[in-house]
């Protein structure tokens, strides 16, 4: 069985829109111990994908299917694979679940078919599948530049607990980025990314909490004010800081006290049964 972790973005800053339609960004990725799982077996022909836990496509619309197709196309002889994907990470939630599943698929197929590819080859395949996929092939913490695929190792968030709150509905990454205003791109900002890197190196959790930042929050909160509600709820519960992850809709808060994190987790979980709440720890 393979595990595919979720990620949070401790910082996400948008710099400009590129000619290819993507945006230049800087972001700090951190994996957490919230997992999807995958089971794989050789098949006689083609790709058979089964999914438990979420009503998502099981054909070529699914990034796991695409990852399997991309890998199998590199084999010398035609073969197939059966994949069972068990979803726990919410879909379209800013937590990178699909990208992580795709990365796990590539890694799993190299083992299943005993075809160890050079790491740079896996990263190139990941880039073809999506901007977040290379991170999940790279490690558990990284600075992402360009469209997020140029990766640099960074210290991991440590000795912290992370409460993730998802309002129970998906948000399209395409919608979020397409609604970025020119004002956002022109506004001078505090360099949260470098401040976060500095304080991650010192493991200064209070200062990390103060510099959690996501340029996309303003875009999403205008349409979905519940994002701000979740942020305030985490902070009022004692989080050192809280911010939306990725393009939304999940929000996370970081804590330096496990008992307090557990209390907030239990409290928010009871407040609204539609919300999906997770108590996690960063992966090192």
User: Angle at which helices 258-271 and 226-236 pack, to 10 degrees?
Assistant: 140
The pLDDT tens digits for 236-265 are: 999 999 999 999 999 999 999 999 999 999
- Termini Cα distance of the chain: 20
CA distances to 91, 100, 162 from 225, rounded to whole Å, are 20, 28, 22
In sequence order, which residues have a C-beta less than 8 Å from that of residue 135 and are 6 or more positions away? 7, 29, 96, 99, 103, 142, 144, 148, 151
Instruction: Residue count of the chain, please give it.
Output: 284
Per-residue pLDDT at 185 exceeds 70: no
Token output for 135: 């991170």
In sequence order, which residues have a C-beta less than 8 Å from that of residue 250 and are 6 or more positions away? 8, 90, 93, 94, 95, 164, 165, 166, 244
For the residues 189-204, what does the mean pLDDT come to? 93
Per-residue pLDDT at 154 exceeds 70: yes
Per-residue pLDDT at 182 exceeds 80: no
> For the whole prediction, is pTM greater than 0.85?
yes
CA distance 51 to 117: 27
Q: Higher pLDDT residue, 74 or 27? A: 27
Q: Can you tell me which residue has the tokens 């902070």?
A: 235
HSE at residue 227, side-chain half, CA atoms within 13 A, is: 25
The per-residue pLDDT for 238 is 97
107 in active site: no
For the residues 172-192, what does the mean pLDDT come to? 80
Query: By the 8 A CB rule, do 110 and 104 touch?
Result: no
**CATH fold of 2-152:** Ribosomal Protein S5; domain 2 (3.30.230)
Per-residue pLDDT at 189 exceeds 80: no
CA distance 279 to 166: 12
For the residues 143-161, what does the mean pLDDT come to? 96
Strands (E), the chain: 2-17, 23-43, 46-52, 80-86, 141-146, 150-153, 161-166, 213-214, 241-244, 251-255, 276-280
The per-residue pLDDT for 9 is 98
- Looking at 7, 66, 107, 231, which residue is catalytic? 7
Reported as a pLDDT band with limits 50, 70 and 90, residue 220 is: very high
Q: What is the CATH number of domain 155-280?
A: 3.30.70.890
Query: By the 8 A CB rule, do 162 and 260 touch?
Result: no
Across all residues in the chain, what is the average pLDDT?
94
Per-residue pLDDT at 187 exceeds 80: no
Domain residue spans of the chain: 2-152, 155-280
CA distance 33 to 15: 30
The per-residue pLDDT for 183 is 62
The pLDDT tens digits for 21-71 are: 788 999 999 999 999 999 999 988 899 999 999 999 999 999 999 999 999
- Looking at 66, 87, 107, 132, which residue is catalytic? 132
202 in active site: no
């Amino acid at each position: 069985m393979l595990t595919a972790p979720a990620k949070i973005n401790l910082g996400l800053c948008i710099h400009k829109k590129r000619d290819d339609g993507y945006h230049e960004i800087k972001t700090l990725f951190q994996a957490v111990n919230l997992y999807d799982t995958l089971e794989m077996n050789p098949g006689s022909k083609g790709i058979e994908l089964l999914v438990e836990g979420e009503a998502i496509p099981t054909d070529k619309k699914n990034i796991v299917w695409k990852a399997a197709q991309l890998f199998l196309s590199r084999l010398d002889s035609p073969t197939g694979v059966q994949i069972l994907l068990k979803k726990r990470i919410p879909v379209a939630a800013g937590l990178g679940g699909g990208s992580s599943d795709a990365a796990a698929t590539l890694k799993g197929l190299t083992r299943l078919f005993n075809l160890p590819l050079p790491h740079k080859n896996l990263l190139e395949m990941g880039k073809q599948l999506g901007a977040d996929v290379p991170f999940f092939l790279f490690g558990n913490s990284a600075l992402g530049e360009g469209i997020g695929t140029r990766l640099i190792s960074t210290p991991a968030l440590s000795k912290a607990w992370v409460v993730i709150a998802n309002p129970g509905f998906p948000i399209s990454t395409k919608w979020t980025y397409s609604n970025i205003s020119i004002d956002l791109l022109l506004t001078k900002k505090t360099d949260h990314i470098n401040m976060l890197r500095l304080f991650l190196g010192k493991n200064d959790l209070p200062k990390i909490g103060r510099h959690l930042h996501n340029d996309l929050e303003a875009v999403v909160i205008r349409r979905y004010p519940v994002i701000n509600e979740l942020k305030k709820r985490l902070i009022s519960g004692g989080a050192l800081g809280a911010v939306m992850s990725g393009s939304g809709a999940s929000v996370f808060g970081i804590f330096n006290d496990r008992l307090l994190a557990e209390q907030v987790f239990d409290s928010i979980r009871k407040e609204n049964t539609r919300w999906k709440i997770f108590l996690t720890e960063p992966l090192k």
